[in-house]
Amino acid sequence: MLEIRDLHARIGTTEILNGITLSVNAGEVHAIMGPNGSGKSTLAQVLAGRDTYEVTNGSVLYNGKDLLDMDPEERAREGLFLAFQYPVEIPGVSNTYFLKSALNAIRKHRGLDDLDAVEFLQLVKEKMRLVQLDETLLSRPVNEGFSGGEKKRNEIFHMAVLEPKLAILDETDSGLDIDALRIVADGVNKLRRKDNAVIVVTHYQRLLNYIVPDFVHVMVDGHIAKSGGKELALTLEERGYDWLKEDVEPMSVHA
Amino acid sequence: MSTETNTIEELANQEYKWGFVTDIEADEAPKGLSEGTVRFISEKKKEPEWLLEWRLKAFRHWLTMTEPRWPNVRYSLIDYQDIIYYSAPKPKKELKSLSEVDPELLKTYEKLGISLQEQERLSGVAVDAVFDSVSVATTFREKLMELGIVFCSFSEAVQHHPDLVRKHLGSVVPANDNFFAALNSAVFSDGSFCYIPKGVRCPMELSTYFRINAANTGQFERTLIVAEADSYVSYLEGCTAPMRDKNQLHAAVVELIAAGDNAQIKYSTVQNWYPGDKEGRGGIYNFVTKRGKCIGKNSKISWTQVETGSAITWKYPSVLLQGDDSVGEFYSVAVVNNYQQADTGTKMIHIGKNTRSTIVSKGISAGRGQNSYRGLVNVKKGATNARNFSQCDSLLLGDKCGAHTFPYIEVKNTTSKVEHEASTSKIGEDQIFYCKQRGLSTEDAVNLIVNGFCKEVFRELPMEFAVEAQKLLGVSLEGSVG
């Protein structure tokens, strides 16, 4: 589904991604961990098409297509979804209206008719239960005045409605209390299918107790320093990231 | 600079896709302005002596005045002797079908959701007998007549309801009120007159009628609306369709009078005149005086405006709150793009007790546009328990435009309560990226964000107009139309 090869990206003159190589297949859950500033969120943003970052080298194939050649909205319509670390407020635009516009834009791209108001409402009601979203958040402006937890839950709600093929969750666990964490993770688990994949970007092992990954990758200084199974996350919980930094120091000299 | 900012600029740099239509044959006055011109106009309109005198008085006063320079807009001085002040419009060459109309124009109509029938009328196509606009208009008028509502052109009102006109003309905006109002008073060509008798609720938005009839009202328009006790009227001015006009200077005067207790007037405007080209050449100067007076107890006047056109806009729809418990409202969306300039706002003058006013102003600046809000809240000594709430929000698209706010507050009564809130924000790359990540195009994203920003104003517009206004905003800010 996703083939990242030797991906380099920078912001201004600062290199942030230094050669990422990663394969994600349908049905898999990958966790990307790493210390602050290691480039985890940058990777998520670059995959979603944020142009603050300049891709200087490497390639990304998404379902056989050149992902880097697509506009952000095209990526979204092709089924790539980013749950934002900091969801954005759009005053005056109701959450439902926003979501309906988004869903219909995606459906149009896939040659489907718009959902009418009734069909859409049914879909929304069903998906709302998945993340136990308060109904009042539907009619309120997108993310405006939402609590931190509500914003994160709303992201997963968007994901549930838009049914992406590849979902990237960028620190969706940050700022969530344990109950909210469980609800969000439950929602994500219910959305897991054989034909979709999830990349979970996180600082902490905590979330991975609920969303159990098939693979864990540790990013340090803009590349993947170590990959392994779900037990790697536990090792990190015990030992932290420093041992990996020492490990990779000689490598970055080579680079 | 990022692509998103560039895209916003592209959007902002959209050109007005339709030019001027200049091939209008007209019955014109000679160029220039003198007492002779004023007499010429008055005679053309077969006006009574008192009205000629009123015009002449205004003209003589105008001669003593100078053009105001205080608005935050820049333009070279107008040569008032280089203007034709009277030009009776003759019908344009009739087209046989819409296929003869500029396809770009049709595209715009379509985007605005204007019906085929109306597209035909707007572009000057001969309409078939079933939808003959004259007969439709006549039907409306008859229906209104049964209720005692007078709704006609200003000229007709002068002929058929001279007492009403004489009683109210200039009672809110005196002929010597300001430079442009004096000019209008001297040379106004035509406009609308509306009278709602006591206890009558006007059963229709006075829009359909207006849109069918007033395509050519000329550059010095005069509108007078009078509502008696316990009456209600909602009046829609303008049109979301692009207005072509060969006159550069527009100086209209609108007077609203909520004469009796509980009278209510709701006045909505959508203005989409030629804004000039991308370099700021040409475009309409829209210097308008609009004012309402709440005389009756518990009467109410509400202004709602959506301004997207004109090179320069200079207008302050105001309310004099004279009657106790009277209410004044001002809801405004003003969009400037390219080199457009707008200096607009309102005045709420609290005179009576328990008077209340609400001001909601939304300014959107794009391109190199400059948008100023200028407002006065004046609470007089006798206005016990007066209340005002003002909210002025500015939205910037790109980094070459400007937003300015000039709020004036004068309070002479200590029991009053005046609140003012203001904000300036930029459409963030974050917001656009968020929308795009959910599958929306940049244009749809900007549209969504801008319409969200204007929501409080749009919901004050009558339903059909609100939908059109939203689309209009999209078209005004759209980059690659068509």
For residue range A225-255, what is the model confidence (pLDDT) as tens digits? 989 998 888 888 888 888 777 654 444 444 3
Chain B partners within 8 Å of A154 (Cβ): none
Taking the Cβ of residue B437 and every Cβ of chain A, the question of whether any pair is shorter than 8 Å is answered with yes
Taking the Cβ of residue B27 and every Cβ of chain A, the question of whether any pair is shorter than 8 Å is answered with no
Chain B partners within 8 Å of A101 (Cβ): 440, 444, 448
B35, two tokens: 């007492």
Place of tokens 């046989």: B96
Taking the Cβ of residue A141 and every Cβ of chain B, the question of whether any pair is shorter than 8 Å is answered with yes
Q: What single letter denotes the amino acid at residue A63?
A: N
Residue A197 · residue A26 · CB < 8 Å: yes
* CA of residue A145 relative to chain centroid, distance: 23
φ/ψ of B19, rounded to 5, equals -85, -155
Chain B residues 59-98 within an 8 A CB cutoff of chain A: none
* pLDDT value at residue B16: 41
Nearest Cα residue in chain B from A82 = B437
Run of H or E residues at B358: strand B356-365
Nearest CA distance, A79 vs chain B (angstrom): 9
Query: How many angstroms separate the CA atoms of B59 and A204, rounded?
Result: 79
- Considering only CB atoms, B453 lies closest to which of A73, A91, A101, namely A91
Nearest Cα residue in chain A from B426 = A90
* pLDDT value at residue B111: 62
- Which of B5, B391, B433, B458 is the best residue to mutate to test the A interface, defined by the most A CB atoms within 10 Å of its own CB? B433
Pairing of strands A223-228, A215-220: antiparallel
CB-CB under 8 Å, B456 with A73: no
CB-CB under 8 Å, A73 with B442: yes
In terms of Cα–Cα distance, which of A31, A43, A36, A4 is closest to A245?
A36
Query: How many angstroms separate the CA atoms of B426 and B404, rounded?
Result: 14
Residue B145 · residue B220 · CB < 8 Å: no
* pLDDT value at residue A106: 95
Residues forming a β-bridge with A91: none
Taking the Cβ of residue A8 and every Cβ of chain B, the question of whether any pair is shorter than 8 Å is answered with no
pTM of this prediction?
0.80
Taking the Cβ of residue A98 and every Cβ of chain B, the question of whether any pair is shorter than 8 Å is answered with yes
* pLDDT value at residue B206: 80
Nearest Cα residue in chain A from B459 = A92
Up-side HSE of residue A125: CA atoms within 13 Å toward CB? 6
B317, two tokens: 């729809």
Chain B partners within 8 Å of A84 (Cβ): 434, 437
Chain B residues 451-470 within an 8 A CB cutoff of chain A: 451-456
- Considering only CB atoms, A76 lies closest to which of B439, B442, B452, namely B439
Query: How many angstroms separate the CA atoms of B462 and B138, rounded?
Result: 23
Q: Is B179 helix (H, G, I), strand (E, B) or coil?
A: helix
* pLDDT value at residue B15: 46
Residue B147 · residue B200 · CB < 8 Å: yes
Q: Which residues of chain B have pLDDT under 50?
A: 1-5, 7-8, 10-26, 91-92, 124-136, 208-217, 479-482
B412, two tokens: 């002479």
The DSSP string of A88-115 is PPEEEEEHHHHHHHHHHHHHHHTTPPPP
Give the residue ranges of DSSP H helices in chain A. Answer: 40-48, 72-77, 95-109, 117-130, 136-139, 148-162, 178-191, 231-239, 242-254
Mark residue B320 as left, alpha or beta (left: phi above 0; alpha: psi -120 to 50; beta: remaining): beta
Number of other CB atoms surrounding residue B399 within 10 Å? 10
CB-CB under 8 Å, B456 with A92: yes
A189, two tokens: 């688990």
* pLDDT value at residue B95: 58
Place of tokens 């007549």: B145
CA distance readout (Å), B120 to B86, B271, B281, B346: 27, 20, 29, 36
Tens-binned pLDDT, residue by residue, of chain A (255 aa) = 999 999 999 998 899 999 999 999 999 999 999 888 899 999 999 999 998 999 999 999 999 999 999 999 999 999 999 999 999 999 999 999 999 999 999 999 999 999 888 899 999 999 998 888 888 888 899 999 998 889 999 999 999 999 999 999 999 988 888 888 998 899 899 889 999 999 999 988 888 989 999 999 999 999 999 899 988 888 888 888 887 776 544 444 443
Query: How many angstroms separate the CA atoms of B287 and B308, rounded?
Result: 14
Q: Is B46 helix (H, G, I), strand (E, B) or coil?
A: coil
Residue A48 · residue A166 · CB < 8 Å: no
- Considering only CB atoms, A72 lies closest to which of B437, B455, B456, namely B437
Place of tokens 């007209």: B26
* pLDDT value at residue B241: 54
Place of tokens 């939203």: B470
Q: What single letter denotes the amino acid at residue B321?
A: L
Query: How many angstroms separate the CA atoms of B110 and B183, rounded?
Result: 38
Residue B86 buriedness (CB in 10 A; 0-12 / 13-18 / 19+): buried
Q: What single letter denotes the amino acid at residue B327?
A: V
* pLDDT value at residue B21: 36
* pLDDT value at residue B117: 58
* pLDDT value at residue B239: 59
- Which of B7, B331, B423, B435 is the best residue to mutate to test the A interface, defined by the most A CB atoms within 10 Å of its own CB? B435
A168, two tokens: 């990237």
**pLDDT tens-place string over residues A8-33:** 999 988 999 999 999 999 999 999 99
Taking the Cβ of residue A109 and every Cβ of chain B, the question of whether any pair is shorter than 8 Å is answered with yes
